[in-house]
Structure 1
Amino acid sequence: MDATVDCWKILDLPARSDERSVKRQYAKLLKVTRPDENPVAFQQLREAYERALQLAREGDDGVGGDASLVQASAAPLVQRPAPVTRPVVRSAQEQAAELLETFDDTAVDQCWNEAIARGIESTVETLLFMRCAHTPDAYPNLLRWGLETRQWLTPWQQVRPREADQQRLGHLLSLGLYRRLEQCMADGEETRFIECLEHHSKQGWLGDLARRQTLHVQVLDLFLEHKNWSPALFQRIRQLFAWDTESAVVPIVDEQWHTLLRRCEEKKWVDELRARVREGEQHPNPRANAAALFLTGSSAERLQARVATFTEADWQACEELSEAFTTRFPDWARMFPDHNPWFWKALVGHESPQHVMKRACAGMTVTLALGMNGLHPAELPVMVIMSPILVLLGVLAAYMGKWLLDLWVAFTKSFYDIDQSVSAWCARHQLTRDRRFLVIRNSVPMLTVGFILWKWLGLLGVVTYVITLLIGKLPAGRAVPINRQYRWRRPLQAIYRIAGLSPLQWLFGIAMVVVIAYVQQNMPGTLLTQGS
């Protein structure tokens, strides 16, 4: 009687409680009475629970009272022996199912300690494994506990669930890991990607060859499907999976593997170009200018603005980049305008000689005047009178030359690429200042003018012409003003600018005119002043 009253008191329940109430109250008290903290109280709670459960099933409320008196008065005259009450023995499966009725994912250790105390830990672990095999997302703490503490899905696990359950759990784990990695890859969170992969690679369930092979294939699929990964991440993965050696066995076809390697090299190359551009912002250099041009895009306006200040060194750097893309990354032609890695050649353009008309007019006029230098001194007034006609003839000859030059320029468009190649070769060997000076287009007219001067003025005319051109290659001095208002303050500099000649060219030209005139007067018919 006292034991019965004590069991209801310990459970803090009324004496007539049913079996369901007893189980609920027991589960509630288990949260505050733990065997590792107070084993004596836990043992009392356990005994009270078993006694109360037995009484609830037998229909006895544990109180004698009037009911016992009624039963005693109604008893027959012949006393029958009382039946022997045998304790109810429940199987481990029943006890495990009862324990897991109130399972809490946040109190896995408490449930496990209770199972150990009852001696049913093997059965409980099997049921817990089956729960994770069917709904692993619902029990994240239990799944972590099973993988890390109980070594599930490894040769060292204590329980042996069905093979189908083990395969199901392994498949769900692989699928969940793949989804997390895919999300990290899509969001560009490479640090989380590698941390997640390294953490799971150390877990025992991936020690199985088939699961590890599946993981490798999944990671490679992510790299093939996405393009926003960095070469550094790919290199980390190669080191993690030992794919950075020549003898490495990669679980995809060779073509796909070489595609990934080539894509990684391309990304490294683009990163290097971007690094050059950043370096050029601090310290401008031809390689940085060329890299910026290749990364500008296909906008014609932006490309023209980028090459406006290019020099020969910049064009040579562009040539090196084009050769690199052509030989190393032929697939990258699609990123350039018109799918051509040599697109920049169309931006080079050409440079026409300055002051062509002015110099041609002056040259023809002087040539005609010197051609009439053989007149008798008495005829000099006639020459003075005819000087306007000479000037007019010089202008007409210059315009005729311009018309012929336009025809020549139109004709040279048919072999423009050849002219560009020749001009680039001359610029690389410093025969010309810049590849924009088209050698064939500009040299033929210059040679023609030189031939005419040789025929009209002889060797001295050709020497004057060539040396004047060479003097023009010298750096321009301060005698050529830029401001138009400044021009009229210094008339001499204004004349220099209008004619397009430097002071040295002017002095040399005047001196040679005097020399040619003197030779014509004193040595008529010589090859110095008369062509053959």
Structure 2
Amino acid sequence: MAADFDCWEVLDLPARSDERSIKRQYAKLLKVRRPDEDPGAFQQLREAYEQALHSLREGWDEVDRDPADVPARPAAENRTHPSLTPTLSLYEQAVGLLDGFEDLAVDRYWTEASARGCGAEFERLLFQRCVNDPEAHWHLLTWGIEQRQWLTPWQRIPASEFEQHCLARALTAALYRTLDQQLATGEEQHFFDCLEHHSQQAWLGDFARRQALQVHVLTLLVNTEDWSPSLFQRVCRLFAWDVEAAVVPIAQEQWQALHRRCEQQTWLGELRSLMQQRQQPPSAHANAATLFLLATQPAQQAELAAGFVEADWQACEELAATFATRFPDLLGMFPNRDPGFWKAFIGHKDPPHGVKRAACVLTLSLALNNLPGSGPLLTLLMLPLYALGGLLAAQVGKWLLSHWTSLTDNLQDLDQRASAWCVQHKLTADRGYRVIRNGGPLLALAVVIWHWLGALGLATYLLNGAIGLLQPASAVPADRQYRWRKPLQAIYRIAGLSRLQWVFCVTMVIVIGYVQLHMPGTLLTQGRLR
């Protein structure tokens, strides 16, 4: 009796309650005594429920009668009645399925729960298990997100806002960690695949969650230096940021900075492609791109620049202007943030055979200058002496040139700008021939010629130089090796004059010689300094 009354006390029911009241009260108490929260109370409730049903079906008359007053029954009557197994509720069946449950086998358990008709109760228990410890039941949580549409308007089980927030926070934290790690290690394809896969999941259809994901991705791109333009473009297409009216959840300054970085990376990618194609076929732009990308390797830069021609330097000038105007943020990759660093690699070029050419001009000028006093025959006889005098004068000029070179080193920037201007206006063919550095000796030679041969000599010198500037480069003989065993060939290659220049020079020498012989002392062949 005491045990029976104890079961009524546990069920909080009066004695002799009917079966319907017992079941209704039991279902009510199950909601507050869950096996996952208090297994002991749940077991006591279940035993009380079974005992109450058993007592009810045995009948109170049998229970209240004193055992001494009960007459002996036949063996058949004393046979123990089989215990009646109470009908388990759907919730109890769902709880029973959790015995030995494994997350990896959730599909099999779910099929069994659906067959028993307790799918909703079983799903609610699984949901609660994920809420209690999402990290320990990650596979189960993933199953619920993908198969049962948890955290979406189509979720079939009730859940509080707090429970949904707990699961959403765990999911977003794991997603953010994965994205951060993949982008930090340069796994761009895995990064985008992960982002694309999760962005298509229904739980991220919520506006607040989706916007939080977009903000995290944008912040990650802002704080990460190395990512390719193609990744940024694919992310923009994924979130529809590539349309003109797109609303981006980030400050406009940061959004513009991301676009600039994308353009910069695209530009650098083009330069790297040019660098890889430099050998096939060689091009000035490829050479310039290689020189700029080797900014941290000055030794290789110097080796590369040693073979540059004017077309390469012009490509460098264009590239430097592009960096300075379009991509000023990339100037940090150059020494002193100067895109004109390449100018330091432009070596100066002296005209070939400078001393020999000067000696020939001085010898000829000296002979023509003395022609009136000595006559043609004596001049020819003394030509070796004049040649010796011209050679000595050229050597003196070479010694003076060394001091002039030291002086022009202080004017290097001005000299480079002047040389570049002359190249742009087709006055010279190569900025390596410095205007100031090489122009000084030419001007000194012009003064000597004017002093010895006057206006005709100076005009011959200047007009011959003008012809050289205006004529095509193909008209001038190539600078090749020569042998004095072929004197005419040697003179032709050393002089470096075109046929037109030869005709002009020979004609003017004859004219000057005629004037010197027949009109000596005229201002046409005498400078004012005499």
State the TM-score, normalizing by the size of structure 2.
0.76
Q: What amino acid sits opposite 2:425 in the alignment?
A: H
Amino acid at match of 1:519: V
Unaligned regions of 5+ residues in structure 1, if any?
Answer: 1-52, 59-73
Residue 410, structure 1, aligned to residue 406, structure 2: yes
Letter in 2 for 1:317: A
How big is the shift at 1:138? 4.6
The count of corresponding residues between Structure 1 and Structure 2 is 459
Offset of residue 446 of structure 1: 1.7
Look up the match of 2:367: 369
The verdict on how the C-alpha distance between 1:166 and 1:476 changes in structure 2, with shifts beyond 3 A counting, is closer
Q: 1:525 is matched with which residue: 521, 525, 530?
A: 521
Instruction: Give the % identical residues.
Output: 50
Partner in structure 1 of residue 29 of structure 2: none
Deviations, residues 29-67 of structure 1 (Å, cap 9, x unaligned): xxxxxxxxxxxxxxxxxxxxxxxx99xx99xxxxxxxxx
User: How far has the Cα of 1:92 moved from its partner?
Assistant: 4.6
Distance 1:480 1:162, change over 3 A: closer
Note if contact 1:456-1:530 (Cα within 8 Å) is conserved in structure 2. yes
- 8 A contact 1:455–1:530 mirrored in 2: yes
1:420 to 391, 413, 416: 416
After superposition, the Cα gap between the structure-2 partners of 1:384 and 1:203, relative to the gap in structure 1 and judged at 3 Å, is closer
Kept after mapping to 2: 8 A contact 1:279/1:288 = yes
Structure 1 residues 291-348: Cα deviation after superposition (integer angstroms, max 9, x where no partner): 2222233322321232233333322221121111111111211112343111111112
The answer (yes or no) to whether the contact 1:480–1:502 under 8 Å persists in 2 is: no
SS at match of 1:427: helix
Letter in 1 for 2:303: A
Question: Which segment is superposed worse, 450-459 or 82-91?
Answer: 82-91
What's the offset of the Cα at 1:281?
3.9
Query: Aligned partners of 2:374, 2:141: CA distance in 1, in Å?
Result: 120
Q: Deviations over 1:161-191 (max 9, x none)?
A: 3433221111111122222323332343333
CA distance in 2, matches of 1:144, 1:295: 47
State how far apart, in whole Å, the 2-side matches of 1:493 and 1:389 are.
23
Does the 8 Å CA contact 1:476/1:502 hold for their aligned counterparts?
A: no
d(CA) in 2 for partners of 1:89, 1:76? 34
**AA in 2 matched with 1:103:** F
- 3-state DSSP class of the match of 2:93? helix
Q: When the two structures are superposed, what TM-score results if normalisation uses the length of structure 1?
A: 0.76
Q: Deviations over 1:433-486 (max 9, x none)?
A: 1122222332243233223312320222123323443565664779767456xx
CA contact (8 A) 2:148 2:155 kept: yes
- C-alpha distance in 2 between matches for 1:385 and 1:116: 126
Which residue does 1:347 correspond to in 2?
345
Change (3 A) 1:164 1:471: same
Aligned-pair CA distance for 1:427: 0.7
Question: Any unmatched runs of 5+ in structure 2?
Answer: 1-45, 52-66
Give the equivalent residue in structure 2 for 1:433: 429
CA contact (8 A) 1:480 1:496 kept: no
Higher mean C-alpha deviation, range 335-344 or range 394-403 = 394-403
The 5-angstrom pairing of residues 59-458 of structure 1 reads 78-79=71-72, 87-88=85-86, 90=88, 92-136=90-134, 138-375=136-373, 390-458=386-454
Q: Quick one: distance in 1 between partners of 2:484 and 2:241?
A: 76
Residue 102 of structure 1 aligns to a residue whose secondary structure is coil
- Contact 1:186–1:226 (CA under 8 A) maintained in structure 2: yes
SS at match of 1:402: helix
User: Cα 1:77–1:292, aligned 2, differ >3 Å: closer, same or farther?
Assistant: closer
* RMSD of aligned Cα (Å): 3.4
2: CA distance, partners of 1:183 / 1:193 = 9
Instruction: Return 82-91 or 517-526, whichever deviates more.
Output: 82-91
**Letter paired with 1:371:** N
Q: How does 1:1-16 map to 2 (within 5 A)?
A: none
Question: What's 1:35 paired with?
Answer: none
Partner-residue secondary structure (3-state), 1:324? helix
Q: Once the two structures are superposed, what CA deviation does each residue of 1:90-146 show, in whole Å capped at 9, x if it has no partner? A: 555443222111213343233223323444332211110122234445545533331
Indicate yes or no: 2:465 matched with 1:465. Answer: no
Aligned CA distance change for structure 1 residues 471 and 301 (closer, same or farther; 3 Å): farther
| In 1: Cα distance, 2:221 partner to 2:263 partner | 14
